[in-house]
Structure 1
Amino acid sequence: MDAVGQTEAYVESERAWAVQRAQVEGRYERLPVMWLVTKVTRGLRPKVEWVDADGVVGEQELSRLGWRERQWLFLEGPDGPEPAWLWLTEQGLPMAPDRWNGVFRAANLRCEEILLTAGEREVERDFRLAEVRGKSPYATPHAARHSMALYMLVLLNQLVETRYGLSAADRRDFAMLFGDPWWLVKTLLGHSDVEVTKRHYLAPVAHLQLESILAVAEPVGEQEQQAENLDGVFTRLARESEGIQDVDAILEAAR
C-alpha cells in the first residue's frame, strides 16, 4: 500500500535524521527514564523485556503497557539507542498522541492561508466550518481513522465481490476462513464488537444505503481502471454526504 511505502520513506529519511541528531547531541542519555528492549516474546500474550540505565531488568505484557510507558522503550540501533516509538518530533523524541492534533491543525491553517480569502479567514472559528465548507480541506486525526475505515470497507468489498468474482457460496467460505469485510475492518480498528464499527465509524454515511456505499463499477481487466472506479465511489459518496470531503474537487475548484 502507498501508506506503507510513505511510512518506510519517513523511517529512512526524516526519522533517521532526527534520531541521528538526538544521538549526537546526547538527548537520549539525558532522559529520566529509558528502557532498552532486550527481548519481545510472541504468542497470544506478547511480552517485552528490558533493562534500564541502572541495569535493572523489567518485563511486562505488551498489551498492558500504556502509551507513556511505550515511549520509554528503546532499541539498540547501529549508532546507539533509539526510540522504539515510530513517530518522533524533530528533536528525535517520541511524539505524544495529543501532539497530532497540533500537526493537523497546522496543516489545516496552511490550507486556509492558500485557499481562503482574508475575509473568510477572519470568520470566528465557531462559524468558519459552515462558512467555508467545501472551500478548504479540514482534517483531524479521528477523521483520518474514519476515512481509513470507510476506504478499507469499500476496498475489501470490491476485492471480494469484483476482483475475485466469488459466488455466494464462495463468499461464505471466504468469510469463514478470513472474515468478511466488516470483520476485517473491525480488526484493523481494534474494536471488540463489529457493531461499534458499523454504528460509529460509518456515521458520516449512515443515511446512505449500504448497497450504495459498496456499489462499485463493473469489473474490468486493468488494475489502473479498477483504481479509478474506487476513486469514483468516493467522489460519489462525497457528493451525497456532507460528512465526506473530496479534497481533489476542493483543490480543483480553488484553481
Structure 2
Amino acid sequence: MLLTHLWTRGKSWVETEPCDLEDYENWRRFAPQNPSPISGAKWDRELAAFLGLFKWAGSQGWISSNPVLMRQVVTARGEVVEVADARANDARSANVHWLTPRTWRLWVDVGLRGHGLDGVPDQGWVGRLEDRNVAFVRLLVSSGLRRLEGASLLTFEVPKVPLAGGRYCHGKVAAKVTRSKKERTFYASSGAVGDIESYMESSRAWAISKAQAAGRYERLPEMRLVTEVSGGLKPKVRWCDRDGVVGERELNELTWQQRMLLFTEGPGGPEPLWLWLNEQGLPFLPHSWENVFRAANERCKRVLTPPEHQGMDPHKVYAPYATVHSARHSFALFMLVVLNTVMDRRYGLTPEERRDFRLLYGDPWFMVQGLLGHTNRETTVKHYLSPVRNLQLESMLRESEEPVDVPLPDLDGVFARVARDAEGIQDIDARLTPDESGAA
C-alpha cells in the first residue's frame, strides 16, 4: 500500500521523503475519508517494516538518507536507544484480556466441555479431545506459561512433585522455548497436573495406539528415539535416529521443532515425547491452539448470549472471550491478588511488618514478575497488570466482608470488586448472569 501511495504521487520508493510517510500515516490512521483506519499498534508494525526496508536500502547504496526519522530515548534500564519518531502514542502493545477465576471456569465448561445453560453437556455433544484442551487451558491459567512454553512440553517435563501443602507442583521450562532464552521454574496447580495425567492415560494413549496400528510413526520422515535423559544441572537428551546415528543435546537447547522429533520406545512401539497430540497421534502444533480457543469463544457466544442481544448490545457482555495469552495475563492478576491476600491475612502482617517483609523478600509485584519470567518490572506492571496498577489492593482486601480461609481463600468476591473498579477484566459468575455494572 505504501508503494501504491508513492506511485500515485509519481515517485519511486527510493525517492521517499519524510513528508511522504507523514501523509501516508495521516491517511492510514486519521483521514475521515478512509473507511478502515488502523490502530496505533498496527501503524507501529508497518513503521517497523518501513524502517527495515529503508535501512537495508541504505546499506545497499540505493538511498542516501533514511526517510524514517529517528529520535533517542532512554529505556527503563538507562540505555539510550533510537526509535522511530513517528511511533504512535496511543499504541497498545497487545490485545489484552483478563478473566477472573470463575469466568475461566465458565469459559471452560461452556466452550470446551459443551455445557449448556442448564450446566450439563448438550445432547449430542462430542468433545473432540476435550480432556486435552481442558488440561492445556488449566495448565496455562495456573502457571502463566506462554503458548509456546506450554505447548512444547515433553512428557517427562510435566511437574510431578507437589510443594508442601499439595496445591502446586513445580517444574522447569527449557531456555530455548522461552522468550528470554533463560530457563526458569514454573508452578502449576495440582488440579491442572491431575488433568494432564488423566489426558495422558486416556485420549492421548488412545491416539498413540491408533497411530501405531496405522503405522504412522514408521512413515515419519525423521524420528529421534531417545535413549537417555541425563540428570544434573544441565540435563542432556541422547537419541538414535533412523540411520543409527547417535546424537545428544542439552535439554535447554532443544528448539520446539527438534522436540517434535523426540520419541521413546513404549510397550506398543515408538511413542512421541511431545505432550500434546492431535487425533492422529502426531504432535499438535503450537499455533493450532488458536483454533481451539476460537471455537470455544464462538460456542460461548452462541450459548450464553440471548438471541435478542446477538451483535446488538455493546454495553453488556454475556459470554466470556479468551485468547491463549489472556491465560497468562489472568494468572498474573490472580497471583497478585492471592499474594496480597496471603501476606495481609494469613500472616496477619501489620503495615510495619509488611514493610520489613518487602525489604527481605520483595513485594507481590516483584514476585509476580519473577513468576512470569520478566526481566523488567515495567513490563509486568504496565502490560500484564495495568487494570489494577492504580488500585489500593491492600485497602480493598482488608475491607472484605466475607470470611477468609487459609491458606487460600475463595476469592470470587474479591475479584468481583476488582473487576468493578478496573477496566478490561471479564467477570461473569457461574449463574450465567452478567455484572449489571457492565464490568463483565
Q: What secondary structure, in the 3-state scheme, does the structure 2 residue paired with 1:98 have?
A: helix
1:17-46 CA-partner distances (Å, limit 9, x unpaired): 222222222222222222222222344433
Equivalent-residue separation in structure 2 for 1:55 and 1:180 (angstroms) = 53
Corresponding residue for residue 227 of structure 1:
409
Q: Is the 8 A contact 1:47 1:59 kept in 2?
A: yes
Aligned to 1:25: 214
Q: Which residue of 2 aligns with 1:195?
A: 378
For the residues of structure 1 that align with 2:399 and 2:241, how far apart are their CA atoms? 53
Moved more, 208-217 or 231-240: 208-217
Change (3 A) 1:221 1:115: closer
Deviations 1:133-166 (A, max 9, x none): 5211100001111111211222233233322345
CA contact (8 A) 2:230 2:237 kept: yes
User: Any idea what SS the aligned residue of 2:414 has?
Assistant: helix
Cα deviation for residue 113 of structure 1 reads: 1.4
- Aligned pairs, number: 243
2:345 aligns with 162
Amino acid at match of 2:318: K
Q: Secondary structure at the match of 1:252?
A: coil
Q: 2:257 aligns with which of 54, 68, 84?
A: 68
d(CA) in 2 for partners of 1:25, 1:216: 61
Comparing both chains, which one has the higher relative contact order based on Cα–Cα distances under 8 Å and sequence gaps of 6 or more? 2
Partners of 2:366 and 2:402 in 1: CA distance: 24
Mapping 1:1-255, distance limit 5 Å = 1=189, 2-118=191-307, 120-121=309-310, 123=311, 131=314, 133-165=316-348, 167-168=353-354, 171-172=357-358, 175=361, 181-211=364-394, 217=400, 222-223=405-406, 227-228=409-410, 230-248=411-429, 251-253=432-434
For residues 115-146 of structure 1, give each alpha carbon's deviation from its aligned partner in whole angstroms, at most 9, with x where no partner exists: 2245654x4xxxx8x83752111000011111
Residues of 2 paired with 1:17 and 1:38: CA distance? 24
Question: Retained in 2: the 8 A contact 1:101–1:140?
Answer: yes
Deviations 1:192-246 (A, max 9, x none): 333322222113334434546765748957449x522x22111111222231111
Per mean C-alpha deviation after superposition, the further-off stretch among 103-112 and 148-157 is 148-157
**TM-score of the superposed pair, with normalisation by structure 2:** 0.49
Residue identity in the other structure for 1:236: R
Structure showing greater radius of gyration is 2
CA contact (8 A) 1:135 1:250 kept: no
Cα deviation, residue 68, structure 1: 1.4
Letter in 2 for 1:115: L
Deviation at residue 170 of structure 1 after TM alignment: 6.6
Q: Following the alignment from structure 1 to structure 2, what is the Cα–Cα distance between the partners of residues 67 and 89?
A: 16
Instruction: Select between 3-12 and 165-174 the one with higher mean Cα deviation.
Output: 165-174
1:39 maps to a residue whose letter is E
Task: Classify 1:185/1:251 alpha carbon distance in 2 versus 1 (closer, same or farther; 3 Å).
Answer: same
Write the letter of the residue equivalent to 2:409. Answer: A
> Identity of aligned pairs, percent?
55
**Structure-2 change in CA distance of 1:112 and 1:169 (3 Å):** closer
Structure 1: 5+ residue stretches without partners: none
**Aligned-pair CA distance for 1:103:** 0.3
* Alpha-carbon distance in 1 for matches of 2:279, 2:399: 42
2:346–2:406 Cα contact (<8 Å) kept: no
CA distance, structure 2, for counterparts of residue 214 and residue 93 of structure 1: 47
CA pair 172-67 structure 1, distance change in 2 beyond 3 A? same
Cα 1:227–1:199 shift into 2, 3 Å: same
Q: For 1:237, give the aligned amino acid.
A: V
Counterpart CA distance in 1 for 2:399 and 2:208 is 44
2:213 maps to a residue whose letter is V
The CA distance in 2 between the partners of 1:132 and 1:91, in whole Å, is 43
For residues 89-122 of structure 1, what are the alpha-carbon distances to aligned partners after superposition, in whole Å with 9 as ceiling and x for unaligned? 122221111111100000011111112245654x
- CA–CA distance in structure 1, aligned partners of residues 219 and 234 of structure 2: 32
Q: What is the CA–CA distance in structure 1 between the aligned matches of 2:211 and 2:396, rounded to whole Å?
A: 47
Give RMSD over aligned pairs: 3.1
1:173 to partner: Cα distance: 7.9
Judged with a 3 Å threshold, the aligned counterparts in structure 2 of structure 1 residues 115 and 169 are, in CA distance, closer, same or farther, namely: closer
Residue 134 to residue 68, structure 1, CA distance change in 2 (3 Å): same
The residue that corresponds to 2:127 in the other structure is none
- Check whether the contact 2:223–2:241 (CA below 8 A) recurs between aligned residues: yes
